[in-house]
């Protein structure tokens, strides 16, 4: 996109050709996209979609509107301008009534952060390494009535704490906290494909509340009181998915993949036992279930990143190509450090850490694992 001052926005429509060129490199590209039979989706996040003329290239249009005074006050606060100029900006745009006529979906956005936290249930999908800073920023809105349902999976760098511990650090030990975890790629959930997950909380009543809240005829939710086990399972499976992706990138076969998945489950068990969590959790949706879906599907960003590294990409280049938050990278570092502190034997995690952070050749890591001293399987 291109920078515009507040006054420039009044004449935004005159910039249509420039905006068009930032979206399509050639006029034929829009036609090719429409004619192409593909599941690929391009999303335009354009404040002035209709005014710029880009709406003609869209199959579905979602419009977010707010009342006039709310919109006016937000522009004044955001751009640090006077009301008169803000009013000119609004008048240069289509009215809400005109936008609604052109929209497939309309969302009203008149609320603020204070209104958000008046809801009982607060769902957290913020990446693990950013959770603490976000809580600090908004904790003055939070009340004892809020119930937090966490979807993120990982271990915090530095503190090596689980996400529930981060919440308790910032909000106190008496908060209501649950985790929803398991094999649930968003790409399939949004299509209402049959999916099963687990709702976990140290409070059985809360885990059952969350179970009832999310359960449907295509989204089955089980309950659990093993909050620690579910959190740890969701964290380490991302690291193992990296490793399995790397193996595929290197060209190894199903035997190798099966070996790493199986021995990876052993590592998951060791980690849970060291935290006095329930080892049976690893046999469930938050353990084996999530490991299978994360380590065998191209929908998994952790698997795809590992696949690229196995093909020779650096960690930085692989992440840049994925263009999404890859939780498994910082989690691998946190798990490695945690294993050293607590003397937990996690050989696969160790080798993945060395590939990611010490530039060890993945082939050499495979040799290191295959050359370990002989032992009984169990």
Q: The pTM is what?
A: 0.78
CA angle 310, 311, 316 (to 5 degrees): 80
| Sign of the CA dihedral with 313 first, then 317, 323, and 326 last | positive
CA dihedral 146, 147, 153, 157 (to 10 degrees): 40
Q: How confident is the model at residue 99 (pLDDT cuts 50, 70, 90)?
A: very high
Fold agreement between 6-110 and 229-370: no
- On whether the CB atoms of residues 210 and 149 are closer than 8 A, the answer is yes
Top CATH class, 114-227: alpha beta
Residue 234 has a CB neighbour count (10 Å cut-off) of 31
What per-residue confidence (pLDDT) applies to 160?
Answer: 95
Distances in Å between the Cα of 282 and the Cα atoms of 129, 165, 266 are 24, 20, 9
Dist. CA 364–CA 366, nearest whole Å: 5
pLDDT tens readout for residues 193-251: 999 999 999 999 999 999 999 999 999 999 999 999 999 999 999 999 999 999 999 99
Q: Is the pLDDT score of 62 beyond 70? A: yes
Dist. CA 74–CA 68, nearest whole Å: 10
Q: Tokens for 78?
A: 């955001």
**Of 226, 236, 120, 135, nearest to 179 (Cα)?**
226
Residues carrying an active site annotation: 237
What per-residue confidence (pLDDT) applies to 135?
Answer: 95
Higher per-residue pLDDT: 350 or 10: 350
Higher per-residue pLDDT: 268 or 116: 268
CATH number of 6-110: 3.40.50.300
Dist. CA 73–CA 58, nearest whole Å: 30
Q: Tokens for 59?
A: 């199959």
- On whether the CB atoms of residues 127 and 327 are closer than 8 A, the answer is yes
Q: What are the domain boundaries of the chain?
A: 6-110, 114-227, 229-370
Dist. CA 179–CA 151, nearest whole Å: 6
Q: How confident is the model at residue 168 (pLDDT cuts 50, 70, 90)?
A: very high
Phi-psi region of 152 (alpha: psi -120 to 50; beta: other; left: phi over 0): beta
Q: Is 360 exposed, middle or buried (0-12, 13-18, 19+ CB in 10 A)?
A: middle
Q: Is the pLDDT score of 24 beyond 50? A: no
Dist. CA 13–CA 143, nearest whole Å: 45
Q: How confident is the model at residue 190 (pLDDT cuts 50, 70, 90)?
A: confident
What per-residue confidence (pLDDT) applies to 14?
Answer: 37
Q: Is the pLDDT score of 349 beyond 90? A: yes
- Looking at CATH, the fold of the domain delimited by 229-370 is given as 1.10.1040
Strand 176-181 and strand 195-200: the pairing is antiparallel
What's the gap between Cα 88 and its chain centre?
38
């Amino acid at each position: 996109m291109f920078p515009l001052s507040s006054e420039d926005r009044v004449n935004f429509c005159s910039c249509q050709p420039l905006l068009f060129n930032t979206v399509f490199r050639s006029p034929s590209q829009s036609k090719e996209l429409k004619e192409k039979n593909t599941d690929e989706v391009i999303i335009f996040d354009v404040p002035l979609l209709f005014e710029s003329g880009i709406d003609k290239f869209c199959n579905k249009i979602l419009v977010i509107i707010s009342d006039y005074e709310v919109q006016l006050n937000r522009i004044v606060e955001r751009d640090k301008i006077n009301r008169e100029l803000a009013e000119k900006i609004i008048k240069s745009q289509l009215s809400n009534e005109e936008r609604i006529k052109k929209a497939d979906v309309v969302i009203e956005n008149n609320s603020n952060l204070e209104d958000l936290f008046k809801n009982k249930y607060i769902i957290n999908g913020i990446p693990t390494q950013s959770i603490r800073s976000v809580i600090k920023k908004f904790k003055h809105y939070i009340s004892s009535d809020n119930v937090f349902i966490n979807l993120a999976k990982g271990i915090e760098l530095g503190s090596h704490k689980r996400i529930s511990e981060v919440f308790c650090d910032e909000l106190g030990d008496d908060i209501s906290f649950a985790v929803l975890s398991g094999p649930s790629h968003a790409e399939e959930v949004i299509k209402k494909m049959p999916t099963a997950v687990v709702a976990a909380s140290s409070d059985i009543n809360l885990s059952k509340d969350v179970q009832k809240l999310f359960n449907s005829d295509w989204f089955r939710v089980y309950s659990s009181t093993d909050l620690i086990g579910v959190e740890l399972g969701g964290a380490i499976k991302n690291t193992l998915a990296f490793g399995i992706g790397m193996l595929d990138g290197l060209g190894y076969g199903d035997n190798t993949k099966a070996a790493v998945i199986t021995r990876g489950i052993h590592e998951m068990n060791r980690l849970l036992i060291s935290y006095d969590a329930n080892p049976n959790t690893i046999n469930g949706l938050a353990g084996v279930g999530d490991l299978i879906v994360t380590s065998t599907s191209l929908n998994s960003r952790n698997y795809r990143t590992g696949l690229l590294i196995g093909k020779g990409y650096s960690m930085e280049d692989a992440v840049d190509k994925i263009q999404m938050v890859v939780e498994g990278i910082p989690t691998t570092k946190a798990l490695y450090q945690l294993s050293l502190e607590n003397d937990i034997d996690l050989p696969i995690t160790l080798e993945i850490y060395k590939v990611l952070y010490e530039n060890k050749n993945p082939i050499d890591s495979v040799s290191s694992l295959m050359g370990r001293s002989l032992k009984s399987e169990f």
